[in-house]
Chains A and B, each alone.
Chain A
């Protein structure tokens, strides 16, 4: 079942399908640049504070679960592979494989979120949610430890938000592909989602060592 790409509708502002596809891809990359800068501000903030408070950040980071973080890293990396497969099959117009790998990607993304939820819950039980009920031993490091956990929740929370958006987009795409909607006739929507998804993975690749693997 080979895709008949030429039938894809060209929007009025474009000359031809090639220009349209290239525009979408350049647009997505430009958007990802804004995303890098968006996370970049947070990363810079984190790094400044980590350099200034190495001892306390190290103590605080021991409350994070490296096994769970490692597991989630594997889950997300695998989801990048399955996303790449989705893109691969959508470029060849193989609808069934495309659907299969897209569903696997969604499942992995949800796994990531569930594990993340358990981690957050654990922090809640331990009283590590920044705010009035924040508890930390030794008490003289409480302020800086709270700073660590504020940044931890801001960074992983923003990342998790991106995962949630990814899951929503992939779910919508799955439905559209399943009902053979004309807007997903060619590979561009999947390609764009793939770019976004790889970006979300790469952010995690930086988050995991920055937050979980602070050397002594």
Chain B
């Protein structure tokens, strides 16, 4: 994009050195600082969730349940799910990378409601701390899905507290969603039309729509469970006149789209990185943009595929099955278009690009195994087995974490002004990829053989596969720890990045690294389509096609 470039300022002020006190961070309304607050918080919660995963994999090393009791095992996998989903996967990309980049990418000085943005972090932390408190005071054992009547009448663990935590975290993401929608609608720089927006923005717009439409429903549903539990009412408990299936409908009405809240922002990251390191415009920009919207829309109509075996109507099951197959179409459009973007590109294998390639592989495996689960007949065999566990880890971890790490590395120079060390970053990417597959590929086999999820003992013949999975988890742990060390190291010792170390397009690269507090010296003006990589290096190739005004640099 060619832009009225800001004059290079003489004083190197930026958002990081705009204030040193703790209060200047805790009371900041700067979207970039709030993104950093979120970065630190989600990393901490990720570590907690990771340790819980480690406990699970340690327990499953042996067929006997010898590390913990069944009840403690229930608590551990529940808390692993709650922490990873509500406190890491859902906020990770929108609240960290999205918070940092949405205003920069649309050429605005901040999000529309900066104080609401800060409030979102506080509400998130309140929810996170309440959930943590519940964990250390007895934990939760209902599974992260809180199915009644177990959650409402029978469980003796800290269900109410955890629900209050999840409720609050939901509101923090609603705040973020409202902020993104308004900012993207109303605060785009002059010339930045909808179809000149980076695909990262399209992805975050679709994500925000899901957050705004879905989160309130799960909030009220969880609240009803809490009310039922505290006052002993019969809203979902069949013994008291309620209908537990209704809970599942309401729960999955949000919690299935929540998967898209996790994966869509990752897809936005992939679009940015793949174009930059292939030096090409994204193939089929409009298709990729609209596929985000299509995923958001269709994603709201497939929740019943979590309930094929609960006794919902067969006809409803058939419709949900069909729609679940349908949602695979826009997802596949994206994968094909990213692949086509790489075709004949000048591909550079930087660390973010390795994560992108990893994402593509894992997402395809995760997506295709999803089709097995969307089929009514096969799902009856696979429901609640390790096949499901492996499938959703491929999408949610393979997809979201790879997208998150790709984005974190790609924009690290922008966020901190320093380059991360390339060699060890590539090594970490490879370790994570290998560790991930070693952990979760055996689980497909285990699930197919009939290993149910949420059990901590199993027949001896499955031990080999479980040992492989646990070994993979250890490798994965090493892979996750590495970036924490070298990224922190790079804060002092990394090479100075400069405004645009990747030669990337996009408004965020037109300003300093790290950016000044209000992002741009003067409001940028956009005169070009996005991803005009070819324009800058091969002027003659632009001639045919899109008819966007030619770049003048």
Contacts and interface: CB of A to CB of B under 8 A. Distances in A.
Given A33-B212, A48-B246, A147-B241, A26 B221 contact: no
A41 B186 contact: no
Interface string B212-229: 111111111100100100
A211 B32 CA distance: 48
Contact of B233 (A33, A34, A35, A150): A150
B212 A48 contact: no
18 contacts: A13-B109, A23-B113, A23-B183, A27-B179, A30-B182, A33-B212, A37-B217, A38-B217, A38-B220, A41-B219, A41-B220, A41-B224, A45-B235, A49-B242, A49-B246, A130-B233, A143-B241, A144-B241
B115 to A, nearest CB: 10
B258 interface: no
Interface of A: 11-15, 19, 22-23, 26-27, 30-31, 33-35, 37-42, 44-45, 48-49, 52, 130-132, 143-144, 146-147, 150-151, 154
B243 A44 contact: no
Interface in B236-258: 240-243, 246, 250
A26 B216 contact: no
A13 B243 CA distance: 48
Given A13-B108, A13-B110, A131-B233, A41 B227 contact: no
Contacts of B213: 33-34, 37
A131 B234 CA distance: 9
Interface in B511-534: 518, 523
Given A38-B216, A150-B233, A12 B241 contact: no
Contacts of A13: 103, 108-112, 114, 187, 518
A22 B183 CA distance: 11
Given A19-B187, A27-B112, A130-B233, A37 B243 contact: no
Which of A13, A15, A39, A147 lies at the interface centre, i.e. has the most chain B CB atoms within 10 A of its CB? A13
A48 B247 CA distance: 11
A19 B227 CA distance: 42
Given A30-B178, A34-B212, A150 B234 contact: yes
Contacts of B241: 143-144, 146-147
Interface string B49-84: 000000000000000000000000000000000000
B164 interface: no
B152 to A, nearest CB: 12
- Interface of A (DSSP majority class): helix
Interface in B148-194: 174, 177-179, 181-183, 185-187
A130 B240 CA distance: 11
B181 A26 contact: yes
A39 B217 CA distance: 8
B12 interface: no
A116 to B, nearest CB: 19
A45 B187 contact: no
A23 B182 contact: yes
A18 to B, nearest CB: 10
Contacts of A27: 112-113, 178-179, 182
A19 B40 CA distance: 33
A14 B518 CA distance: 11
Nearest to A37: B216
A22 B523 CA distance: 19
Nearest to B241: A143
B214 A31 contact: no
Nearest to A35: B216
Nearest to A15: B523
Given A22-B186, A27-B178, A34-B215, A48 B221 contact: no
B231 interface: yes
B167 to A, nearest CB: 11
A143 B233 CA distance: 9
A22 B178 CA distance: 14
B13 interface: no
B232 interface: yes
